[in-house]
Structure 1
Amino acid sequence: MYLHAGNNKNLRTKNIIGIFDADTATVSPVTKKYIAGAHAEGRVEFASVELPKSFVVYRNEPSRQERVRFSFRQKKRKPAPKSEVRVCFSQLSPSSLAGRAENKI
């Protein structure tokens, strides 16, 4: 199942690690450092241009098509596409996102 995070951004519910309130979670220096590092690595995306109320940490797995494409290119010995942890900021409240996620599971 998928969770709609806003503006055509859909996340697989099984890949969601956590849903956080942007106002309270970003107070911690550890969270600030994590988000700054993810942003520097290009792993942060925004579901809307509006002021974010929440952010979702999720695992972005390669699609089936990418995995199949890799299996046909094994002669080149490139590493397999790996999943990465990404951060998506959303204009929706964390309680609304959590409610949507619970209804989908």
Structure 2
Amino acid sequence: MFIHLGGEKIIRANELVAIFDLSIEKNSKISKQFVTHALKNKKIEVIGEEDSKSIVVTVHKVYYSPISSATLNKRASQLQIH
């Protein structure tokens, strides 16, 4: 199964680790450190040209998605039901 993250980006559902609201980056010291580390290792990809609303962590990369974390969480949970 796959999850559409916005733009033309689709990931395999089994690669998904976590979905966060973008505000976590500003409100959590640990999250800032995690994102900084991913940036240094060139493991971050910004999807599309719209403002990012969520951070999607996968096994291999961190994505900044223009889709809200609530919508992405709904998409991910629908895959678990079926």
Higher relative contact order at CA 8 Å, sep ≥6: structure 1 or structure 2?
1
Q: Distance in 1 between matches of 2:22 and 2:3?
A: 18
Q: Does 1:8 align with 2:8?
A: yes
| Residue of structure 1 equivalent to 2:33 | 33
| Residue of structure 1 equivalent to 2:49 | 49
Q: RMSD of the TM alignment (CA)?
A: 0.9
- Rg (Cα) greater in structure: 1
Q: Give, in angstroms, the shift of residue 21 of structure 1.
A: 0.4
| Residue of structure 2 equivalent to 1:74 | none
Q: Give, in angstroms, the shift of residue 104 of structure 1.
A: 2.1
Q: Which stretches of structure 1, 4 residues or longer, exceed 6 Å deviation after superposition?
A: none
Unaligned 5+ segments in structure 1 are 60-84
Q: Does 1:88 align with 2:63?
A: yes
TM-score, length of structure 2 as denominator length: 0.90
Unaligned 5+ segments in structure 2 are none
Q: Give, in angstroms, the shift of residue 19 of structure 1.
A: 0.4
